[in-house]
């Protein structure tokens, strides 16, 4: 199908700012779904609140636009009641790891078959450029005009430690890699996390010496490195991309079915 068959064209042009990376993530996610030939009726996309979460308004699959930080909780309800559906949860960095941080780690721990996409632009864009838990120390934001002293979470390490079965990272510059990782994540049976570094030229870029979306994507190109291309003894300070975890662990809905089956057997 063509890209236009996956979107609600009546809402276009979308409301994201010129050059916003979230549009590129949506573009890549549509390609991933199309390459995998998953029927639109089999997909449920659940989002919370924020610029990133507007994606559920634009993509023409089953969609739920829910509460700030609680997208994963709603998604867990959908998945438990209809385990045969593919549940995809696009979230912003603030949505996923600040107010939604607890949902995030517990969703990873349970290993329910949900794909979480963290569209990380390191800022709260919708509300005016406040720093988020992923801005990182030394960055500037409208609420940190003299510099932010809060260190950032490492989403990959956090997801890994919390028990996610699949953890990967890419950027909006590396689009073909992003599409490939999204396909792997959606195929993975268990909780999968894909962090995608995304640009917010309007707030993060403006506050941090990057004037345009192009500057920010050049930054992703220069300052990230693919895991597969790391020589031994590599020590450069670059953000790594690729698949960090890919393990098959018992999936929550399957385990739940197993408990139901064994309990029912006990009754008879």
Comparing CB distances to another protein, the nearer of 94 and 201 is 201
In the list 38, 73, 99, 175, the residue contacting another protein (rule: CB under 8 A) is 175
Strand, helix or coil at 149?
A: coil
Taking CB under 8 A as the rule, does residue 155 contact another protein? no
CA atoms within 13 A on the CB side of 23: 12
Three-class DSSP category at 238: coil
Contact pattern from residue 24 through residue 43 relative to another protein, giving x for each residue in contact according to CB under 8 A and a dash for the rest: x-xxx-xx------------
Q: CA 41, CA 61: separation in Å to the nearest integer?
A: 6
Of 66, 148, 213, 244, the one binding another protein by CB under 8 A: 213
Q: Under 8 Å CB-to-CB from 126, ≥6 apart: which residues?
A: 49, 50, 51
**Which of 27, 92, 89, 37 is closest to 63 using CA atoms?**
89
The stretch among 90-98, 100-108, 206-214, 244-252 that binds another protein (CB under 8 A) is: 206-214
Binders in 46-65 for another protein, by CB under 8 A = none
Can the peptide bond before residue 13 be classed as cis, meaning omega within 30 degrees of 0? yes
* Closer of 153 and 173 to another protein (Cβ): 173
The nearer residue to another protein, 58 or 131, going by C-beta atoms, is 58
Count the site residues for another protein by CB under 8 A.
31
Q: Which two tokens stand for residue 236?
A: 């450069």
Selected from 104, 153, 173, 220, the binder of another protein by CB under 8 A is 173
Cα(first)–Cα(last) distance of the chain, in Å?
49
Report the alpha-carbon distance of residue 124 to residue 82 in Å, rounded: 32
| The one among 1, 5, 8, 12 contacting another protein by CB under 8 A | 12
Residues contributing to the site for another protein (CB under 8 A)? 2-4, 7, 12-14, 16-24, 26-28, 30-31, 172-173, 175-176, 179, 201, 212-214, 217
């Amino acid at each position: 199908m063509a890209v236009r068959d996956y979107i609600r064209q009546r809402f276009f042009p979308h409301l994201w700012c010129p050059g916003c990376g979230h549009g590129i993530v949506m573009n890549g996610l549509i390609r991933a779904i199309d390459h995998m030939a998953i029927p639109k009726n089999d997909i449920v996309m659940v989002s919370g609140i924020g610029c990133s979460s507007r994606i559920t308004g634009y993509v023409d699959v089953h969609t739920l636009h829910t509460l700030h930080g609680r997208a994963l909780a709603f998604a867990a309800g959908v998945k438990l009641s209809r385990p045969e559906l593919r549940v995809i949860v696009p979230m912003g960095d603030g949505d996923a790891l600040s107010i939604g941080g607890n949902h995030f780690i517990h969703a990873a721990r349970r290993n329910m078959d949900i794909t979480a996409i963290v569209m990380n632009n390191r800022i709260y864009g919708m509300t005016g450029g406040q720093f988020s838990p992923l801005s990182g120390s030394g960055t500037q934001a409208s609420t940190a005009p003299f510099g932010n002293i809060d260190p950032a979470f490492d989403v990959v390490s956090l997801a890994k430690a919390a028990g996610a079965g699949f953890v990967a990272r890419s950027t909006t510059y590396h689009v073909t890699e992003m599409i490939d990782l999204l396909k792997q994540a959606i195929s993975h049976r268990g909780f999968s996390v894909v962090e995608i570094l995304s640009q917010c030229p309007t707030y993060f870029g403006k506050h941090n010496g990057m004037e345009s979306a192009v500057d920010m994507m050049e930054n992703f190109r220069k300052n990230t490195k693919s895991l597969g291309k790391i020589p031994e003894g590599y020590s450069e300070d670059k953000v790594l991309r690729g698949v960090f975890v890919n393990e098959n662990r018992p999936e929550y809905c399957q385990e739940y079915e197993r408990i139901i089956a064994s309990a029912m057997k006990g009754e008879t």
